[in-house]
Structure 1
């Protein structure tokens, strides 16, 4: 009987050893296998105890058989490899968090080969046999279903935020060929010399050389000329004794088109073309005078170099002479254009204009003009001269000035235009332009009257016709402003004229 209890105690120790082995392997199948043989063994032992009366020889044989069976079972446990073993792979995308103590820890098996790696989420998901999980994932055994489940660990949850996942999903991927092309483009951009050379080659491939074009056009009886060559040819034709009046007029028309460019106008003066133009102004043919004045005015416009050469060549005296003696209205119109172009932003020429009786010539022309077109040009020219001097004087208050600006201020100080306007009677001449029916003429007159107010204010107040004209014009234009406002134009042209009238009346204290 004592032998039987010792056998039972030995089997219980071996059972605990088997359970420990199963616990090490972490296999539920192993646990079930361990329980099955021992349950069977215990049953056999109980049978052995109950049948001990049969004799010691049969009990020893049975005990030997059971020991052999148990040794085989332990060997099978040690060599057993579960099909549902859990494999852990290194997480290359997330954090390195560790699983919770409540969750089942995962072991690493090195000889698993290529396995399907499951990407955990924030929710538990079922693992299939043969699947691997990243390190740091939480793994548990669902006791209800008997299946393993996995989800992200705490560190992984910190890393795999929704924002990070969206950035990773939207992050563009580049192939090796695309990266090579990008690097090649960077090297090309860093080499501007080769880039410029390639660009020049591409441009050269699109256009043909000038010499080649000239040869081809020469074969077609065509001549390619630059502007300088054209002007030289035109001047030679103009001076030719065989040229007719119509041909000369056509030449002047072509020159007027060319001298709008600043360089061409200066080149024409260096060729001696300015002298030919002044000779055309002294011609007895009004058509030649008109065309010559038109070319001269276009060459002088916003071209200081030509302005200086024109004053040095005596163009101002010639223009004033033609303006005083010409009979044709078209000639006076073009000559006024040339005079205005010569005087604009040129205080030296303005000083000479006043000293040579330019205002007297203009006043005579203003009185004789019945159409109003010449009057408007004259008043506009006077207004521009007054405004230029005022602007220069205001700019002179700036503490930071250069030497050229100081010289311009000095030259404008010599131009006593407003005093000359008072002496020559322009304070009573300009208001006559308000009698015109043209809105543009009235606007120019009002602006000139405001510019002349510092010297003409006393005469304005004593001029009853001027006072009556201002009141009448304001009522007329106020009605027009109401019509503009009905049409949705709050700051229209007529409202601007009303503002000019109001400003003049304020100065006159009406």
Structure 2
């Protein structure tokens, strides 16, 4: 095929036109890219100081006048105009929405491994504001403690040391005495023959207050004070007898060391002698208190009490007492002795107990209290206390009768007065129990007395 000159010229013109149009299009694109766009992106340094290599052409850029930096995550996020992203992030244009999106780059994704994420989760969940408030509170607490310390120092500065006070008192002829010094001074005064009865009573009152402490009572014995107290029992003045017996009973209470010293110095015989004579009622009350303190938890003294006719002395005192005050104290003392021995005997069945307890069981086995009570007529004496109008007296009598039942049961069954008293008392107290229940007291005091009566009646039947 042959081309004419006109055809060649037309083809040349078409190529020139096409080349010109392409050139214009490239210039237009260049001018567009050269213009500053509000949404143009530029690379910025990573805000965390990390530098990445091998990122794509779409790696993080930021507006030159940026005011906000977006922190990418593993998921794509939409970028708003004017927002900046750290270097190393991946940015793309979403063709469906026409919006730019950003997420972490590959190196950043490697950094956020599961292990690192676990470490981040264990970090403190508190916000910076909360941490600031906590720090502020710590500082306030420290300031408060400092103020408290300063206040304590200020208060302490207002008082003087004890040694300094003692020196000043010595200069003023004042003496700070210990209990031992006070007791020594009191015993020296008590041993003086120049004191009046009132002064002796005052000294005995001070001693009674001090010997309630176990150490002071033992110190009293070591200073020879026990002999002075026993001499007071032989005084012709009933007031001195009463006060001396009171001091002795207080010193003996729950104090084995003093109990031993008292028995060795003949205190038990002196007390029984006083009960057998006819001193006033108030003296006998204090003497009974001293006897009970001496016998409690002391089987050796109990054996001596029985061998020296103690139950006979108490029976005569019981018969002579019409008011019931001494009777109640005597019956209570006998009940305590019976219950004490019973508890020791039951505990003695335990094979794990030590040798000292075995010795106590052996000593209590020598105290034949139950047989002595039967022999001395106490099985018929104790029921007489039920005739009292005092509920407390009746309760103590019922407890003693139950404790004595193993040796007195036959006499109980033949004692018509006792059986009649039990029936009458049960009816009387049953009505009181009904009154207690109306008031909302289901297990009151009178219900307890009814239970004691029922228990005794069951034993007698």
TM-score w.r.t. length of structure 1 = 0.72
Answer yes or no: is 1:141 the counterpart of 2:94.
yes
Shift of 1:217: 2.6
Task: Measure the CA separation in 1 of the matches of 2:303 and 2:127.
Answer: 75
Q: What corresponds to 2:418 in structure 1?
A: 466
Question: In structure 2, what is the equivalent of residue 234 of structure 1?
Answer: 186
Residues 1:87 and 1:355: Cα distance change in structure 2 (over 3 Å)? farther
For 1:476 and 1:121, how far apart are their aligned partners in 2? 91
Aligned to 2:84: 131
Q: Return the index of the structure with the highest Cα Rg.
A: 1
Counterpart secondary structure, 2:125? helix
Counterpart residue number, 2:350: 398
- The answer for the alignment partner of 1:83 in structure 2 is 40
Q: CA 1:122–1:62 in 2, change beyond 3 Å: closer, same or farther?
A: closer
Partner of 1:440: 392
Aligned with residue 246 of structure 1, among 173, 189, 198:
198
- Once residues 331 and 137 of structure 1 are traced to their aligned partners in structure 2, the CA distance between those partners, rounded to angstroms, is 108
Q: Please tell me whether residue 457 in structure 1 is matched to residue 413 in structure 2.
A: no
Q: Residues of 2 paired with 1:138 and 1:491: CA distance?
A: 86
Cα deviation 1:16-61 (Å, max 9, x = unaligned): xxxxxxxxxxxxxxxxxxxxxxxxxxxxxxxxxxx99689589648
Q: Distance in 1 between matches of 2:264 and 2:379?
A: 32
Unaligned runs of at least 5 residues, structure 1: 1-50, 93-103, 186-200
Note if 1:484 corresponds to 2:446: no
Is 1:419 the equivalent of 2:349?
A: no
Whether the 8 Å contact between 2:233 and 2:241 is mirrored in structure 1 is yes
1:379 aligns with 2:331: yes
Q: Per-residue CA shift, 1:168-222, capped at 9, x if unaligned?
A: 25899657x969x99xx9xxxxxxxxxxxxxxx9998786443322222344553
Distance in 1 (alpha carbons) for counterparts of 2:87 and 2:216: 81
Q: How does 1:191-202 map to 2 (within 5 A)?
A: none
* Alpha-carbon RMSD: 4.5
Gap change, CA 1:73 and 1:151, over 3 Å in 2: closer
* Residues 1:290 and 2:242 are matched in the alignment: yes
CA–CA separation in structure 2 for the residues paired with 1:503 and 1:139: 99
Distance 1:124 1:277 in 2: 101
Q: Deviations over 1:127-179 (max 9, x none)?
A: 443233899999883844x33467999x9999999xx799825899657x969
Q: Which residue of 2 aligns with 1:168?
A: 125
Q: Distance in 2 between matches of 1:109 and 1:402?
A: 90
Q: Which residue of 2 aligns with 1:279?
A: 231
1:63 equivalenced with 2:19 (yes/no): yes
CA deviation string 1:206-252 (max 9, x = no partner): 86443322222344553311111111111111111211000000000
Q: Cα offset for 1:91?
A: 9.6
1:127 touches 1:150 (CA, 8 Å); kept in 2? no
Shift of 1:107: 3.1
Structure 2 match to 1:499:
451
> Is the alpha carbon distance of 1:268 and 1:129 closer, same or farther for their aligned partners in structure 2, counting shifts above 3 Å?
same
Distance, in Å, in 2 between the alignment partners of 1:222 and 1:127 is: 92
Q: Secondary structure of the equivalent of 2:235? A: coil
Task: Evaluate the alpha carbon distance shift between residue 258 and residue 89 of structure 1 in structure 2; reply closer, same or farther with a 3 A threshold.
Answer: same
- Among candidates 333, 340, 354, match of residue 285 of structure 2: 333
Aligned residues: 426
Q: Which secondary structure does the structure 2 equivalent of 1:168 belong to? A: coil
> 1:293: Cα distance to partner?
0.3
Aligned partners of 2:198 and 2:254: how far apart in 1? 29
1:214 to 136, 161, 166: 166
Q: Give the Cα–Cα distance (whole angstroms) in 2 for the partners of residues 251 and 453 of structure 1.
A: 46
- CA distance in 1 between counterparts of 2:289 and 2:217 reads 16
Question: With structure 2 as the length reference, what TM-score do the two structures score?
Answer: 0.79
Gaps of 5+ in 2: 1-6, 50-55, 143-152
Residue 307 of structure 1 aligns with which residue?
A: 259
Q: Distance in 2 between matches of 1:440 and 1:486?
A: 23
Distance 1:169 1:124, change over 3 A: farther
Q: Is the 8 A contact 2:72 2:102 kept in 1?
A: no
Task: Tell me, in whole angstroms, the C-alpha distance in 1 between the residues paired with 2:57 and 2:328.
Answer: 102
Aligned-partner Cα distance in 1 for 2:318–2:252? 24
- Classify 1:368/1:158 alpha carbon distance in 2 versus 1 (closer, same or farther; 3 Å): same
Supply the distance in 2 between the matched residues of 1:68 and 1:120 (Cα, whole angstroms): 43
Cα-to-partner distance string for 1:310-366 (whole Å, 9 max, x where unaligned):
111111111111111142101100000000001111111111111111111100100
Q: Following the alignment from structure 1 to structure 2, what is the Cα–Cα distance between the partners of residues 123 and 64?
A: 43
What SS does the corresponding residue of 2:351 show, helix, strand or coil? coil
Pairwise CA distance, 1:441: 0.2
User: Which SS does the other structure have where 2:353 is aligned?
Assistant: coil
Structure-2 change in CA distance of 1:78 and 1:346 (3 Å): farther
